[in-house]
Structure 1
Amino acid sequence: MIDAAPRQITEAEWIEARRAGLDVGMQLAQSASGIDGVLLGHQKRLLTATHIYRVVLCVKSRRIGATWGIGSDAVLTSSKARTARGMDTFYIGYNLDMAREFIDVCGMWARAFNAAVSATEEFMFDDGNPDKGIQAFRIQFASGFEIIALASRPRSLRGRQGFVIIDEAAFHDDLAGVMKAALALLIWGGRVLVISTHFGADNYFNKLIEDAHGKRNSYHVLSCDFDEALHDGLYQRVCLRTGETWSPEAEAAWRAGVINDYGDDADEELFCIPSKGGGAYFPRPLVEARMNGDLPVFRLERPDSFTFLPKEARKSDILAWCEQHLEPALKALDPDRQHGFGQDFGRKSDLSVIAPIEIGKTLRRTVPFLVEMLNIPFEQQRQVLFYICDRLPRFTGGKMDATGNGAYLAEVAAQKYGVLRVEQVKMSADWYLENFPPLKTAFEDSWITLPAGADQLDDFAIVTKLRGVPRIPDVRTTDKDGKKRHGDVAVAVVLAYAHTRGTLVEFDYRAASTDRAGTDAGLADDVDDGLRDWWKPPLGAGIR
């Protein structure tokens, strides 16, 4: 894929990427027979998801054939016998035209599958209102099941059972009510698919998506934007219908024209980014409520001249600082609890922040202290990091910012402690989208505590939703000492919290020698020494 925002990709870049992407796999898919040869990749992924997960949320681009593909799923589901897990299908669009169109699509699929259809009709659906019913459309199958397509009414699902498809969900007048009614069908083995293009960041559909990312619900999220559909062969299908000849050049021009037609709405309509996003992602009162003034923040800063002092002088200075400030805090940690860390790297203009994290007995996370380093040489940052990690009880590892210059420190930490324990993270919009929502959920549900401070609060307040994605904008704040900050604590904490959400690997080992007891054994002069300190015969390992 091209490493650029979708709307910034030029026609030339798209042509080059598409030529590189044409492989034997695509040629085989185009020549395949049966439904595998008819459905595009994103349509197949959608059908697969609906058969694995009970509730699927699908956010999509406009006009990529998702509803057309799901029509095949509806026919296959309702044409099967009960013993083969057949069931009724209820399609709910936000207007009657959508219902009629979906039934037409299902009729096409039924003919293609040679499904035994007993009747296709328009009728008045009884939704329990004694005064009037709802105009609806139906296909009846010999299996005894049927596909019913109707406009959006929450009460229309009351007392029903089957597979519910809520199409263009973001545009329903009462999506919350429709969802409440649809979820009742899960009790007896039903399924629910919620599919839509975004309609604003504050829409209930987007709230469902955010809650799923934040693990507030167990729904599976699937997405397909315009470019993904093009990679799956969307424009090739357009050419089959229009009679035009496909080529990378023609596709690039067509793509640019579609994006241009949508203008400012392209992000939302084509690239699955909800509009009207913006503002602070973490409200100040929310973060402040999870701060504890008894937890310390240690600040380490040195002048430019410190970088060029002799190696032993730098090492001795930092060791003394660690023993004075960090050793008491590390000794105070609970030896029975697992500990990890997250680090956001900075050198001169930005802070380098280390955030240890403890998993409590109730699984509540606590950041027992923070270390903020400014203008500290690479070797001494490594020294501080190793000093902490070597003394964290039941150390499970951590996640480190490996973007830019941070790659060096993340790499040597992974070499010392193992790649299973230290993950080198390349920060990206996708990573933020996956990991900031669970952290926000932890703040909202009071499952995390961290040190208090106005500067640290500012670091969280800077996190902003940009085009629907929570991330650190390219702006700086100023701390109480007049130094610049760039959301450094927020990044370190989200890395630490993300580490505790993963599979934690904990190793126990016996030291090969005690000759160096009382010295700074964990502070290797170089990476090789660090590897020798780490690679001791293990007594046991556990995964938690």
Structure 2
Amino acid sequence: MGQMRPLASTQAIVEWDELPARAREIPANFDPLAEGVLMAHQVQAVELAHKVSILALPKGRRTGMTFAMALDSTITAASRKSAGGNNVFYIGDTKEKGLEFIGYCAKFARTIAESQAEGVSAIEQFLFEDQDEKGNTRQITAFRIRFASGFQITALSSRPANIRGLQGIVIIDEAAFHPDVQGVLDAATALLIWGGRIVVISSHNGRNNPFNQFCTDIQEGKYGEDAAVMTTTFDDAVGNGLYERSCWMSGEAATSEGKVRWYTRIRKGYGPRLTAMREELDAIPRDGNGVLLPGVWIEEAMREERPVLRLTLPDDFVQKTPNDRKAWMDEWIAVHVDPLLEQLNPQSRHVLGYDFARHRHFSTMVPMEIEQTMRRRVPFAIELHNVPTRQQQDLLWHINRRLPRWSGEAIDATGNGETIAEYTADEFGSHVHQIKLNRAWYGLWMPKLVQGFEDRQIDIPRDATLGDDLRAIENVEGVPQVVKETRDIKDPELHRHGDFAVAVCLAWFASLNLVVAFEWEAAPGKRDSDEDEDMPAGAFGGHW
């Protein structure tokens, strides 16, 4: 059998301020051993986890199951073997989830270890050398807390090939969103041979997802009497005090009126996406296959932080004269965009994807570099809200003329985007692909984008909002696409509709439909944009 062992030479200490916000924001006076610290459904889940070998916990979002299991894991690892102590392994769908879980445990350990007169080490980041049954090895980033009891809590950033080799308690979080859901579940149940226990926590990700089938098989008795399913909905958690806990954690006063507003805002936040709301809040899996891009694929594509420019203009900006609007936009471009364009690799071919919007959503421009290795790299992204169409055109054309070895772009020519797409095609010719976003186009090109993420051929800026947009790609009646939502633009939590996902898919399309690369050289005395505010610029302001 393969083995998994730590590489001590890579060990490093994780500082408290490096932990995710939710772990850091636990109040200083939080006592994990106080009576009533867990809500009723959390207590029930922890008790059930100690009674059965296999526990599946389908849940609504933010119901606190991971938090409860982190507390129980800390108590377990801090206890001596005679008191039920054991090692705990946590496997999330992203590295961020693992760090958040270990952050919770570190917070709890400060109190628990002290009360039991047991020491606890700092959070360590190290590498697991994972070896499968064929002898193939790879290194997995992991986080660990070691207790004086001799046990430890280890959070792995991805599923180890040899999960069967783990001995102790294994917690698999957001199982339905792992790249290989069935592989996770098969390997986890196999480790029962060594006397371990398994807790599988997840929101649903479609009726056909293996996690839903896993829960169904347990309920039908296919795993015997030593397995159980406990479902917790958002309403269950609300009834048990979720709103009041949320207010206490944030230092706000809980009121009955505030609770109604809070609950209504969360429900209304899904707009017309009722099946998504039922799945994510009521733990009712939808008929489709759900989200297509696992969080781990998105995280692997976000290799580093890069600029994401976001420009929102006031409503009265359109009251300025055309010349004043252009002058303002030219200055903004010179200050914010030109420095980014100057940093681009002049040897690489570049394309651009542009998802147009005028009022309710964000216009998103995504330049994409085609590296020598054929990997597609997004050096930066630009999001525009409430920006007049002509100023969007000024920016778009400016970028087109300065992208090194510019080899084309794809523009959303649906609805209001059709006008700017036509004008841009008039100016730049066959380098501009005017795309009608419809089911047929999504059905052909979204799977290619998803494949690009799976093959690790996409490199995008590390940004939480962009990641949320990519998670909006869903199977709708067999066609992968972004679900359009009707939301209040004044509420920043309620207005996005996967804008970046559409723009990066357009850029991906352009990168696979390259035209002859060329550079723009402005003719003497000509501006980048036509003087006439109402007419499209012709292809006479420069030469190729």
- TM bin (shorter chain): 0.3 to 0.5
Higher radius of gyration, 1 or 2: 1
TM-score, normalisation: structure 1: 0.45
Q: TM-score, length-normalised on structure 2?
A: 0.45
